[in-house]
């Protein structure tokens, strides 16, 4: 008889084996630590591209019908094992004043979708009609991902002019330009009639969680340059052809996800902590030390020519490069230690969250877990019903053991409940507003986890230890959500230790953590509520997909003047 080990149980077993070197939740789940996260070897975009290389995915451009201004449509075909996918894009131009990073826009310069099969016949007509409408469009399960975006206002036309004139870009003019196109949204998992995650069959290359959220800019620039410069135009040089990624901007919409999916967040963090514990336990062979030093140098070269803008509360790129120099010097002092990688990490703990998490990201490059195992561990069961027979004493014990950190949030102060969260009527996206300006009228999103648990804790003071929780909830139904939360918060890294309703809450920190997990970097806050990032910077182009490039594309250095 064969016993099936569920991914949740397997992940816990992996953590149990490494308990001595795991960072405790009081460290890993600090808002400042989550808010210093960077992309790692196990960010979703990187594991996807490694799988594409391993399984020899092939991609090619099969249609590119564009006028001289880059208005038209393009289709890219991806052979992913037994499945054929198509990326279908429709392009135009809009007035610069209509460019916005916000989802409330109604027009975009690029509207696209990743679909199953070929976009021909009636299906092609549906895509041509509905994709440019985005949220207003209606699709069927052949459509997997929907996205849209705009050309970079600062750099698209400049790059066209440079190539049209026979020159490569001036690196001093694009020092902080990690992208040519900037996406303003990705939609998937059943929205607007698209295929849900449960709808992917066994063996599908996108069945792994978060894989379908990722898959034109170079082709569009080069096409417009040829149209403008004729015989004088040149394509991007070898070093420039991979330098640019995809820009993205994200705001408050990410915050509710993290508070509503504690077991998912646990899996994300636990995989990082598991890998970090493994690397900290490794002896310092010369190969490993040289490999780490190479990654530190790669990080330095990537960030040193980046932005000098004020990126508070984060470090700007040039300051990150300076941190990389200090890390390299610290590594020199740890080389002869019995466990040099553990020593380097312990050094980083005394130099602030940004330096510490940069060290974590660099150390994880030495980890060599099976990507299939990592993918499996991302699959979690979020269903765990409340036991109505649990006693008040048992609930108190859970609150004391898992949520002792609530006492440090000053939850009785009026400032702890200043914000409430809601799905906006005009954007269909999460937003927050102050309670003294607009009453929630029972329309708020229930992510006030810390407040609810704190109030449940206080309510239990009126009950005897042996009272079943169902009796408490019968008399105080307002505490049901808090009691149910205890059932799914049974994992070490489940809870961001923060209160999103506080007057002092900073959404940027949790946003950055999630974006780093997707594989984004170059974090540039534009307010307390949203930031710009870059995805897939340096990633392989179509002709490189399925080769043995591995992770060599990560953190590309800015090309020199010869390009």
Q: Phi-psi region for residue 90, left (φ > 0), alpha (ψ -120 to 50) or beta?
A: beta
Distance CA 506, CA 489 (A): 22
* 481 closest CA partner among 442, 459, 448, 432: 448
Residue 329 has pLDDT above 90, yes or no: yes
Query: What do you get for the CA distance between the two ends of the chain, in Å?
Result: 61
Confidence (pLDDT) at 105: 67
**C-beta separation of 15 from 278 below 8 A:** no
Q: What is the pLDDT of residues 22-42, one digit of tens each?
A: 999 999 999 999 999 999 999
Residue 370 has pLDDT above 70, yes or no: yes
Query: CB-based contacts of 294: which residues, under 8 Å, 6+ apart?
Result: none
Average pLDDT over residues 354-382: 92
Confidence (pLDDT) at 6: 55
Residue 563 has pLDDT above 60, yes or no: no
CB atoms within 10 A of CB 367: 18
Minimum mean pLDDT among 128-132, 156-160, 398-402: which range?
A: 156-160
**C-beta separation of 37 from 357 below 8 A:** yes
Confidence (pLDDT) at 215: 46
Confidence (pLDDT) at 115: 93
Q: Higher confidence at residue 533 or residue 211?
A: 533
Average pLDDT over residues 150-179: 85
Confidence (pLDDT) at 2: 37
Average pLDDT over residues 174-185: 78
Confidence (pLDDT) at 255: 92
Q: Up-side HSE of residue 519: CA atoms within 13 Å toward CB?
A: 26
Look at the block and give the residue holding tokens 């610069």.
96
Confidence (pLDDT) at 103: 62
| Secondary structure class of 477 (helix, strand, coil) | helix
Confidence (pLDDT) at 293: 97
| Secondary structure class of 438 (helix, strand, coil) | coil
Average pLDDT over residues 322-328: 98
How confident is residue 1, by pLDDT bands cut at 50, 70 and 90? very low
Query: Which H/E stretch holds residue 308?
Result: none
Minimum mean pLDDT among 36-50, 96-110, 323-337, 400-414: which range?
A: 96-110
Q: Higher confidence at residue 363 or residue 15?
A: 363
What rounded mean pLDDT belongs to the chain? 89
* 400 closest CA partner among 465, 346, 334: 465
Q: What is the pLDDT of residues 245-256, one digit of tens each?
A: 888 888 888 899
Q: Phi-psi region for residue 194, left (φ > 0), alpha (ψ -120 to 50) or beta?
A: beta
Residue 445 has pLDDT above 90, yes or no: no
Structure tokens at 368: 């060599």
| Secondary structure class of 511 (helix, strand, coil) | helix
Structure tokens at 33: 């630590």
What torsion, rounded to 10 degrees, do the Cα atoms 191, 194, 199, 205 define? -110
**Residue 230: DSSP 8-state:** G
Strands (E) across 367-423 are located at 419-423
Q: What is the pLDDT of residues 253-312, one digit of tens each?
A: 889 999 999 999 999 999 999 999 999 999 999 999 999 999 999 999 999 988 888 999
Residue 232 has pLDDT above 70, yes or no: yes
Q: What is the pLDDT of residues 81-115, one digit of tens each?
A: 888 999 999 998 887 776 666 666 678 889 999 99
**Residue 13: DSSP 8-state:** H
Query: For a pLDDT cut of 70, what percent of the chain falls above it?
Result: 93
Helices (H) and strands (E) in the chain, counts: 19, 11
Confidence (pLDDT) at 102: 62
What torsion, rounded to 10 degrees, do the Cα atoms 345, 346, 352, 353 define? 50
Average pLDDT over residues 239-244: 85
Q: 140 φ, ψ to 5°?
A: -130, 175
Residue 3 has pLDDT above 60, yes or no: no
Residue 147 has pLDDT above 60, yes or no: yes
CB atoms within 10 A of CB 466: 9
Structure tokens at 323: 């941190």
Average pLDDT over residues 541-554: 75
Average pLDDT over residues 157-185: 85
Structure tokens at 309: 């803008």
Confidence (pLDDT) at 13: 87
Structure tokens at 407: 């006492």
Residue 334 has pLDDT above 60, yes or no: yes
- Interaxial angle between packed helices 340-348 and 352-364, expressed in degrees from 0 to 180 and rounded to the nearest 10: 160
Q: What is the pLDDT of residues 529-538, one digit of tens each?
A: 888 898 888 8
Does the model's pTM come out above 0.95?
no
């Amino acid at each position: 008889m064969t016993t099936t080990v569920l991914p949740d149980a397997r992940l816990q077993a992996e953590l149990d084996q490494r308990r001595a070197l795991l960072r405790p939740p009081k460290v890993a789940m600090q808002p400042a630590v989550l808010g210093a996260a960077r992309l790692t070897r196990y960010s979703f975009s990187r594991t996807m591209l490694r799988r594409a290389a391993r399984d020899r995915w092939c991609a090619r451009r099969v249609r590119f019908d564009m006028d001289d201004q880059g208005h038209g449509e393009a289709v890219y075909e991806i052979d992913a094992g037994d499945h054929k996918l198509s990326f279908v894009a429709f392009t135009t131009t809009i007035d610069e004043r209509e460019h916005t990073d916000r989802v409330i826009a109604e027009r975009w310069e690029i509207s696209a979708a990743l679909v199953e099969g070929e976009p021909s016949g009636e299906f092609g007509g549906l895509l041509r009609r509905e994709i440019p409408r985005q949220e207003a469009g209606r699709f069927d399960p052949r459509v997997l991902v929907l996205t849209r975006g705009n050309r970079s206002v600062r750099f698209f036309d400049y790059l066209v002019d440079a190539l049209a004139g026979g020159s490569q870009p001036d690196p001093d003019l694009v020092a902080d330009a990690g992208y040519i196109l900037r996406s303003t949204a990705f939609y998937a998992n059943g929205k607007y009639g698209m295929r849900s995650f449960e709808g992917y069959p066994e063996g599908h290359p996108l069945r792994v969680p978060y894989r379908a959220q990722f898959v034109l800019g170079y082709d569009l620039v080069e096409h417009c340059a040829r149209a403008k410069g004729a015989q004088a135009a040149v394509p991007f040089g070898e070093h420039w052809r991979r330098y640019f990624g995809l820009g993205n901007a994200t705001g408050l919409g990410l915050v509710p996800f993290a508070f509503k999916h504690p077991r998912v967040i646990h899996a994300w963090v636990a995989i990082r902590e598991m890998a970090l514990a493994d690397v900290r336990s490794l002896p310092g062979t010369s190969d490993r030390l040289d490999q780490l030093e190479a990654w530190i140098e790669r990080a330095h070269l990537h960030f040193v020519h980046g932005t000098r803008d004020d990126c508070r509360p984060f470090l700007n790129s040039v300051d990150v490069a300076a941190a990389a120099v200090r890390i390299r010097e610290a590594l020199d002092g740890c080389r002869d230690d019995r466990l040099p990688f553990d020593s380097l990490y312990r050094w980083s703990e005394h130099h602030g969250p940004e330096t510490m998490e940069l060290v974590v990201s660099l150390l994880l490059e030495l980890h060599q877990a099976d990507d299939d195992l990592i993918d499996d561990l991302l699959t979690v069961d979020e269903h765990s019903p409340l036991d109505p027979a649990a006693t008040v004493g048992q609930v108190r014990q859970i609150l004391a053991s898992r949520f002792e950190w609530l006492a440090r949030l000053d939850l009785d102060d009026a400032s702890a409940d200043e914000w409430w969260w809601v799905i906006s009527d005009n954007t269909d996206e999460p937003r927050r507003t102050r309670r003294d300006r607009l009453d929630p009228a029972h329309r708020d999103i229930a992510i006030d986890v810390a407040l609810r648990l704190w109030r449940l804790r206080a309510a239990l003071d009126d009950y005897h230890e042996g009272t079943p929780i169902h009796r408490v909830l019968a008399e105080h139904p307002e505490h049901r959500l808090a009691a149910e939360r205890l059932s799914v918060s049974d994992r070490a890294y489940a809870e961001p230790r923060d209160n999103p309703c506080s007057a002092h809450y900073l959404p940027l920190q949790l946003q950055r953590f999630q974006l780093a997990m997707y594989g984004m970097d170059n974090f540039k806050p534009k307010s307390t509520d949203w930031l710009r990032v870059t995805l897939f910077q340096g990633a392989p182009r179509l002709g490189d997909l399925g080769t043995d490039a591995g992770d060599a594309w990560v953190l590309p250095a800015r090309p020199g003047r010869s390009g």
